[in-house]
Structure 1
Amino acid sequence: MPTFTIRPLGEAAATLDQLADILVEVVADGGSVSFMHPLAPEVARAFWAGSLASAARGERIVLGAWDGGGALLGTVTLLLDTPPNQPHRGEIAKMMTRPSARGRGVATALLAEAERLARQHHRHLLVLDTASDGGAGSLYERCGYQFAGEIPQFALKPHGGLSGTRIYFKLLAPSRGDAA
């Protein structure tokens, strides 16, 4: 039984502070989520402020997993702002779990909720990428994502050096009420 709840995140200052903290912590731990170490807290906070403003415009959904004491354990973003010829597609981005919360099912639960919301928004194809070195490929494969390919030397690792990226996709079964 999970000891956390998942909900969409808003622009409250406390939420922004916790999102910034988790981003700084994940990058310091080597997580390849588009930022380099050391990551200044104000840069992390500005990133999340922009992401949550985008969510308020309906362009994405930012989810958080919260423990019973109000601590943010993890987050994932479902990107919905796609080109006109791709209204059926969404993208999973910024999947992060605090190192201290790993192994508790947080990422799996966040991903399942993102998929549920994708179906609700009539998205039946999800795509994502993850670092080849130290990324979450095994998590995504366990959750039914299919490996599509790898691009070598795609991005810098947070502590330096290059890493490839692995591309995944998942076709979602339509939710009840959706046209097949």
Structure 2
Amino acid sequence: MPAPVISVLHDTPGVRAQLVSLLTGTVAQGGSVGFMHPLSPAVADAFWAGSLAAAARDERTVLGAWAGDTLIGTVTLLLALPPNQLHRAEIAKMMTRPQWRGQGVARALLRRAEALAVERGRTLLVLDTATEGGAAGLYEKAGYTRAGEIPDFALKPHGGLTGTLLYWKRIGPAATSAAPEDASE
């Protein structure tokens, strides 16, 4: 399969319809992204309307991965943080259509989000992912450090509790300046 094209998403009816489809499908398949199944298209649309409005206010960036005219994945870079945390950003709402999983879509989205965070002067990224069925392997392969686990953090979309794993990664100049010193010196 050809590599996906990654772009910043803006609020258009076509983009929002594809985001709604991606979100409702992710939740229906058990993806723990903050919603319960069944997720109505109206609720998903309201979420994306708010998210894209926040992006228009420069509070976040919503990225999309495209295969032709089809949105196959998305991730959000949260930027609106308290004044004492403007050095960091958060990765949120990582989703990939099932038939595209394992094809490098999420990794490409993550790399682009990291690059945008560096461009915005951020030096630390944080994220969380469900203990069961989450993307821990993706994040660990991408260099994120596991900070810990919170048990029973959220309900799974089809019921029952799951924990969440917390991760962090230094990026940009901080990534190289924070490297541990050689113990042999």
Q: 2:172 & 2:57 partners in 1: Cα distance? A: 27
Q: Which residue number corresponds to residue 22 of structure 2?
A: 22
Give the counterpart letter for 2:5 in structure 1.
Answer: T
Contact 2:37 2:158 in 1 (8 A): yes
Percent of aligned positions with the same letter in both sequences? 63
Q: CA deviation at 1:4?
A: 1.6
Q: What is the rounded CA distance, in whole Å, between the counterparts of 2:52 and 2:122 in structure 1? A: 20
1:44 counterpart = 2:49: no
Residue 56 (str. 1) matches residue 66 (str. 2): no
TM-score by length of 1: 0.95
1:87-119 per-position Cα deviation (integer Å, ceiling 9, x unaligned): 100000000001111111000000000000000
Find the aligned partners of 2:2 and 2:144 in 1 and give their Cα distance.
23
Q: Give me the whole-angstrom Cα distance separating, in 2, the residues matched to 1:4 and 1:89.
A: 27
Q: How does 1:12-161 map to 2 (within 5 A)?
A: 12-68=12-68, 70-161=69-160
Q: Report SS of the residue matched to 1:85.
A: helix
Task: Give CA-to-partner distance per residue, 1:103-143, whole Å, 9 cap, x none.
Answer: 11000000000000000000010000000011000100000
Is the 1:90–1:118 Cα contact (8 Å) retained in structure 2?
Answer: yes
- Structure 2 unaligned residues grouped into runs of 5+: 179-185
Structure 1 CA distance for aligned equivalents of residues 140 and 70 of structure 2: 28
SS at match of 1:92: strand
Task: Name the aligned partner's letter for residue 149 of structure 1.
Answer: G
* Shift in Å, 1:174: 2.3
- 8 Å CA contact retained: 1:66, 1:74: yes
| Structure 2 counterpart SS, 1:159 | coil
Which amino acid is 2:55 matched to?
Answer: A
Once residues 165 and 81 of structure 1 are traced to their aligned partners in structure 2, the CA distance between those partners, rounded to angstroms, is 22
Query: Which segments of 5 or more consecutive residues in structure 1 lack a partner in the other structure?
Result: none
Structure 1 position 2, deviation (Å): 4.1
The 2-side partners of 1:133 and 1:87 are apart by 31
Report if aligned partners of 1:147, 1:168 keep a CA contact under 8 Å in 2.
yes
State the structure with more CA Rg: 2
Q: Which residue of 2 aligns with 1:6?
A: 6
The one-letter amino acid paired with 1:97 is T
| Residues 122, 172 of structure 2: 8 Å contact kept | no
CA contact (8 A) 1:154 1:165 kept: yes
2: CA distance between counterparts of 1:110 and 1:158? 24
